[in-house]
Structure 1
Amino acid sequence: MSRIVTVAAAQLGPIQKAETREQVVARMLALMDEAKAKGADLIVYPELALTTFFPRWYHEDRAEADAWFEAAMPNPAVQPLFDRARAHGMGMSFGYAELTPEGRHFNSSILVDKSGTIVGKYRKIHLPGHVEYDPTRAHQHLEKRYFEPGDLGFPVWRTMGGLMGMCICNDRRWPETYRVMGLQGVEMIVLGFNTPSVNGHKAKEGMAQRLFHHRLSVQAGAYQNSCWVVAVAKAGSEDGHHLMGGTLIVNPDGEIVAELEGEADGVIVHACDLDDTRFGKQTIFDFKMHRRIEHYGPITGQVGVVEPE
Structure 2
Amino acid sequence: MKLHIAVAQMGPIARSDTRRQAVARLCDMLEDAAGRGAKWVTFPELALTTFFPRWTIDDTQELESFFETEMPGKETQPLFDRARKLGVGFYLGYAEIAGDRRFNTSILVDSTGNIIGKYRKIHIPGDAQSQDGYPIQHLEKRYFEVGDLGFPVFDAGDTRIGMCICNDRRWPETYRVMGLQAVDLIMLGYNTPTGYGRLGEPRHLPLHHNHLSLQASAYQNTCWIAAAAKAGVEEGIHMIGGSCIVAPTGEIAVQALSEDDEVINYVCDMSLADGYRGNIFHFERHRRPEHYRAIVDRVGSSRSPF
TM-score by length of 2: 0.97
Q: CA deviation at 1:308?
A: 2.5
Q: CA deviation at 1:61?
A: 5.1
2:96 aligns with: 98
Structure 2: unaligned runs, 5 residues or longer: none
2:264 aligns with: 268
Q: Paired residue for 1:303, among 288, 296, 299? A: 299
1:155 maps onto 2:155 in alignment: no
The question of whether the paired residues in 1 share the 8 Å contact of 2:137 and 2:196 is answered with: no
Structure 1: unaligned runs, 5 residues or longer: none
Q: In 2, distance between residues paired with 1:277 and 1:239?
A: 41
Q: In 1, distance between residues paired with 2:73 and 2:58?
A: 28
Q: Identical aligned pairs, as a percentage?
A: 51
| 1:10-59 CA-partner distances (Å, limit 9, x unpaired) | 00000000000000111111111111111111111000000000000102
Aligned-CA RMSD value = 1.1
Q: CA deviation at 1:160?
A: 3.9
Give the 3-state SS of the residue equivalent to 1:68 in structure 2.
coil
1:135 aligns with: 132
Q: In 1, distance between residues paired with 2:269 and 2:156?
A: 14
Say how many residue pairs are matched. 305
Q: Paired residue for 1:15, among 7, 13, 16? A: 13
Q: Paired residue for 2:41, among 14, 19, 43? A: 43
Q: CA deviation at 1:198?
A: 1.6
Q: CA deviation at 1:132?
A: 0.9
2:112 aligns with: 115
Amino acid at match of 1:303: V
Q: Paired residue for 2:247, among 251, 258, 264? A: 251
Q: CA deviation at 1:64?
A: 4.3
Give the 3-state SS of the residue equivalent to 1:298 in structure 2.
helix
Runs of 4+ in 1 over 6 A off after TM superposition: none
Q: CA deviation at 1:237?
A: 1.1
Q: CA deviation at 1:60?
A: 3.4
The question of whether the paired residues in 1 share the 8 Å contact of 2:23 and 2:79 is answered with: yes
1:71 aligns with: 69
1:53 maps onto 2:42 in alignment: no
Q: Paired residue for 2:193, among 185, 191, 196? A: 196
The question of whether the paired residues in 2 share the 8 Å contact of 1:207 and 1:244 is answered with: no
TM-score by length of 1: 0.96
Q: In 1, distance between residues paired with 2:276 and 2:195?
A: 35
2:181 aligns with: 184
Q: In 1, distance between residues paired with 2:217 and 2:270?
A: 16
Give the 3-state SS of the residue equivalent to 1:303 in structure 2.
coil
The question of whether the paired residues in 2 share the 8 Å contact of 1:99 and 1:105 is answered with: yes
Give the 3-state SS of the residue equivalent to 1:58 in structure 2.
coil
